[in-house]
Structure 1
Amino acid sequence: MAGDELTKPLLTSDPSQVIITVGDEKFCDVGSASDAIAESPSSQLHNQSYNHVNGSRFHSENPYESIGAGDFALPPTSTIDPFRNHTPSIDGIYEWLKIIIILPFVLIRLLLFGLCLLIGFAATKIALQGWKDKLNPMPKWRCRIMWVTRICTRCILFSFGYHWIRRKGRPAPREIAPIVVSNHISYIEPIFFFYELFPTIVSSDSHDSIPVVGTIIRAMQVIYVNRFSPASRKNAVNEIKRKASVNRFPRVLLFPEGTTTNGRLLMSFKLGAFLPGYPVQPVVIRYPHVHFDQSWGNISLAKLMFRMFTQFHNFMEVEYLPVIFPLEKEKESVTCFANRTGRAIASALNVAQTNYSYVDFMLLGKASEFKQENPSLYLIGMERQEIISHISSVEAVDFLDTFLSMNPDESGLVQINNFLKAFRLRACMLSEKIFGFLDMERRGSISFKHFLFGSVNVLKQPLFKEACELAFAKSAGNHFMSELQFGESIKLAIPDLNVDEIHSLFCLFDTNKEGKIGREEFIGFLRRNPLLIALFVPLLKRMI
């Protein structure tokens, strides 16, 4: 399931194969124009000042100045949700009449779909029978059997309403462009490419367990990858390079966005297709429509399939763009190579490249899980360098989990009372400083963007880890910190804490629930909640 307008390119009607090298290295950073932010006076933190917001007073002295964390800038808020399907429900008399008319034919389409799936599955089982040397290309006689499955997949597309598919351009010879990349809008594209190119695909390892589908993609000599495992990603890149270098293997197909979008923008590209350094042919997929958005966004697979089955015809366009070569003489970076390819696809689609990534899809899922009224408020554009350089995708979701525990309102904003409650802090000068550090505009509320960028701004400081280690070493007499030692340390920051408040905070840090805090436990908690290092800053100052 997953800006600024770019001009639509002039398309040539010449059917011959065209090979070009896309230059213009000046724009290696995606969204460089849209992300340029002039820091306004309202975003400045004014030391030693007080602000009155909604009757509350927030002290804006920076509590993290001693570890090097200063002001931070927020990126502009996008109004586009890349994962939103724009026709999730059946609206209008025309749509209902169309469904009523087409319903008698839906059974025929379902029978065709099921029959083709079974025949294709049987042919694939025969083609794979007894084949053990799967590190080498599939023998030609087995590939010929797979033509039965390929024809079945075309019939499956027909059953979905794709009676004809408009094509522009043509695939480059495999010897010229061993790697193909495409935008990803629906589950239809993998089916189309299976029929059209029979490529080797890079897919999530979770797809192997899907009944029938898992068997069929294994015949494509799939390269499995676990996107959360660095070792798995490294192995996938090595496999891409190995198979791309041998012409006897099929082309390697990747969807570098990593998930589906609604096609109204282009998400940032993962680098796996570009790290091997081979020429790449971009392919653009479009689904022109008026009444039915075919994108696999915030809509269930069953509902999407039903809508497809109940259309007279579903339109699909496939455009093969000119091959893009890496700029070897200029020693082009992998990121620039990926961004040039992305610009070619975005230009052909007439959409903007963005910093959205699969992690934003994870954030959207987490917000939906918490029944947020508008989950798209929590999309950040997680491929921004100031974020991805310091936290992992899992940590980003953990930050959202913490923020959602603060009970944001329908606008996705958190007030100071809920903020303090989540961190078990009392209202005092220090807690107001912490909240004021995030509340740059002095509005008395913060968004997830404030919370995440502010937390990462503290976390990324070179002195942060050292401060955590020193705080533990100074507080703990041995390998563990007791509740008494913990209380003595934080009372330097908030002197009038009572026993119950100290115990509540101690339990927050004591994630193992052992009645004591270990060194790794302490540092790990502060990495997940870097704002709370402010509790130990007075202790650290005493050591200087």
Structure 2
Amino acid sequence: MNGKMHSETGAFSSDGMRAEILNPFVHKLELDNTYDKIKTAIFTVILLPFRVIVICYLIVTAWFLACIGLYGLSEEDLRRKPMTGWRSKLRFSILSLMRLVVVVAGFHRVKILGTEHAPSDRREAPVVVIAPHSSFFDAIAIVCLGAPSVVAKADTARLPFIGQLINYTQPVYVWRDDPNSRANTIKEIIQRATSKEDWPQILIFPEGTCTNRSCLITFKSGGFYPGVPVQPVTIRYPNARDTVTWTWEGPGALKLLWLTLTQVHSSCEIEFLPVYYPSEEERRDPKLYARNVRDVMAKALGVPVLDYTYDDCRLIAKAKQLGIPSAPSVREVAELRAQLGLERSQIELHLIAQGAARRARWLGAEELARRLGVQPAADDAQRLAQLFTQPSSGLIYFPDYLLCAAFLMTQHAPLTQLLSYAFKLYDSTGTGRVNAATFEEIAGRCLGLCQEDAHNTFGQADLDEKGWLTYDEFIAFAQKKSFFSFLFACESAPKSKSQ
């Protein structure tokens, strides 16, 4: 893949074959040699200011033209009918300015491939599907495709200057916090895609979140509900150093902007694939349609497909924040448990209640499988054991596995429930009392506290200086501290993992 990335976990491709690939929500980028550091420092002084000044001038000018073009139009007007007349012609001037922004930013080599597959009439392919989605620099594709109507998060409308430019494409906004957002978005996409009016093409990034381009994750099916032909478009950044990828875990937007704008030049490739015409079965089943289009695009890109979603991204981030064992692999653990039937049986909760982790804390792979009631020889069972095997001993710390499983089964319940399981798992005495060292272990694995903070918390909660705490005593202490309010919040379950 482009740039320098490091593997964190393997995962399954949709056909069940092993694909040892990167966690799609992680990107690591460092200037790791003196030459790169010196070059970046020099261009930060002599190149970055020039580019920033010119880019700001061009964007402000484009924003000013967009404000003129949008003057007198309400949000409802933008959604009701396409722009016509002078407002439509003004789009060309705005686009010309934004194309200059792309050049000034260093993307002198935006290569457009497969143009013979681009339809001459938007009615031939009313929807454009772009993947992989990995960066805010993907806006280059929007500019190069003539500013089609984008499907975007509603928050983007409030971005300074950029918000008005996006509004000029007459976008379809997605309100993630609105329970009716998905239905309303699909309805609006269907109306535009099947309309006889001269709407721009609708552009969607069906993955719904940014990845590191190591794979194509689950395509949300909202853009496929109209059942109309779609134009698949792939985007690549074939640069020596990947300074554009913006994922859940990795460099922030400002760092990426800085490192990209201090490159002498950057490359981007946009490729039109043949228009995809859905079969009758695909028209009836938007999820099937989305999967099949994803397969075509993945084959063109030469990457695997993985059934990861935005919710999986949140799940991994939450597990890491709390310190859950094997947090980077928690999505794969969930899939393995489902394939082994553990998600349905929830046998781990029975093992926790029985105190199984006290009787045997360190297990081999075969013993873990036996306790879980699965076949040790099964590939899924072996992979599950591998994710929790300690390299130093070749054994699995049973409480860690059970805590990770409990986290997956209680992820939408208050954290107090997970904490109650942790007290049982890491209390080797079975008395319900944990000393300072054990509490530090618990706090590091499901509260996200460092050792020092955990030690101080134990000292404050142990008011009588007994040298131990029970679960109830800690909860009574936590209820009085605003810092621990997150323990008592209940996270609502997502409506769907695929849209």
Please give the alpha-carbon distance, in whole angstroms, between the structure 2 residues aligned to 1:372 and 1:108: 46
Of 278, 282, 285, the match for 2:235: 285
Deviation per CA, 1:386-412: give whole Å up to 9, x if none. Answer: 69xxx9xxxxxxxxxxxxxxxxxxxxx
Alpha-carbon distance change, 444 to 452 in structure 1, aligned in 2, over 3 angstroms = same
What residue identity is the alignment partner of 1:451? Answer: A
Instruction: Name which of 189, 205, 210 aligns with 2:159.
Output: 210
Tell me: CA distance 1:375–1:301, structure 2 relative to 1, closer, same or farther (3 Å): farther
Are 2:237 and 2:269, in contact at CA under 8 Å, matched by a contact in 1? Answer: yes
Report if the CA contact (8 A) 2:127-2:230 is conserved.
Answer: yes
Q: How does 1:497-536 map to 2 (within 5 A)?
A: 504=472
Matched AA of 1:95: D
State yes or no: 1:190 paired with 2:131.
Answer: no
Partner residue of 1:488?
none
Unaligned runs of 5+ in 2: 1-11, 362-367, 373-384, 386-395, 414-430, 434-468, 480-488, 494-499
Q: Which entry has the higher C-alpha Rg, 1 or 2?
A: 1
TM normalised by structure 2 equals 0.65
- 1:347 aligns with 299
1:450 aligns with 2:399: no
> Any idea what the Cα deviations from partners look like across 1:358-392, whole Å, max 9, x if unmatched?
112212433454478985333449899969xxx9x
Task: Tell me what 2:267 maps to.
Answer: 315
1:143-165, CA deviations, whole angstroms, 9 ceiling, x for partnerless residues?
21122221121121112210131
Conserved in 2, the CA contact under 8 Å of 1:153 and 1:195?
Answer: no
1:92-171 superposed matches below 5 A: 92-103=33-44, 104-132=46-74, 133-134=77-78, 135-170=80-115, 171=118
Give the whole-Å Cα distance in 2 for the aligned partners of 1:320 and 1:169. Answer: 5
Deviation at 1:98, TM superposition (A): 2.6
Indicate the RMSD between aligned Cα atoms, in angstroms. Answer: 4.2
State the partner residue of 1:542. Answer: none
Taking every aligned residue pair, what percent have the same amino acid on both sides?
A: 26
Hey, what does 1:255 align to over in structure 2? 205
Q: Tell me the SS of whatever aligns to 1:316.
A: strand
Aligned counterpart for 1:296 among listed residues 231, 241, 246: 246
Aligned to 1:240: 189
Instruction: State the alpha-carbon separation in 2 of the partners of residues 375 and 525 from structure 1.
Output: 20
Between the aligned partners of 1:77 and 1:190, the Cα distance in structure 2 is 30
CA deviations over 1:470-519 (Å, ceiling 9, x no partner): xxxxxxxxxxxxxxxxxxxxxxxxxx999xx99939979xx9xxxxxxxx
What residue number does 1:10 align with?
none
Deviation at 1:208, TM superposition (A): 1.8
Q: What letter is aligned with 2:48?
A: V
User: What is the rounded CA distance, in whole Å, between the counterparts of 1:373 and 1:115 in structure 2?
Assistant: 49
Letter in 2 for 1:165: V
Which structure shows the higher helix fraction? 2
Cα distance per residue 1:18-70 (max 9 Å; x no partner): xxxxxxxxxxxx934226xxxxxxxxxxxxxxxxxxxxxxxxxxxxxxxxxxx
Amino acid at match of 1:219: Y
CA distance in 2, matches of 1:368, 1:149: 43
Cα distance, 1:430 vs. partner?
8.1
Q: Which has the higher contact order (CA 8 A, sep 6+)?
A: 1
Q: Would you say the 8 A contact 1:181–1:281 is kept in 2?
A: yes
Q: Is the Cα contact below 8 Å between 2:432 and 2:471 reproduced in 1?
A: no
* Counterpart-to-counterpart distance in 2, 1:525 and 1:437: 32
**For the Cα contact (< 8 Å) 2:128–2:230, is it kept in 1?**
yes
Q: Which residue of 2 aligns with 1:65?
A: none
Please state how far the C-alpha of 1:191 moved relative to its aligned partner: 3.9
Q: Letter of the aligned partner of 2:26 in structure 1?
A: R
Do the aligned residues in 1 keep the contact of 2:128 with 2:231 (CA within 8 Å)?
yes
Q: 1:381, 1:249 → 2: CA distance?
A: 45
> Conserved in 2, the CA contact under 8 Å of 1:357 and 1:381?
no
Deviation at 1:445, TM superposition (A): 3.1
Figure out how many residues of one structure are paired with residues of the other and give that number: 375
CA contact (8 A) 1:223 1:236 kept: yes
| Structure 1 CA distance for aligned equivalents of residues 253 and 53 of structure 2 | 18
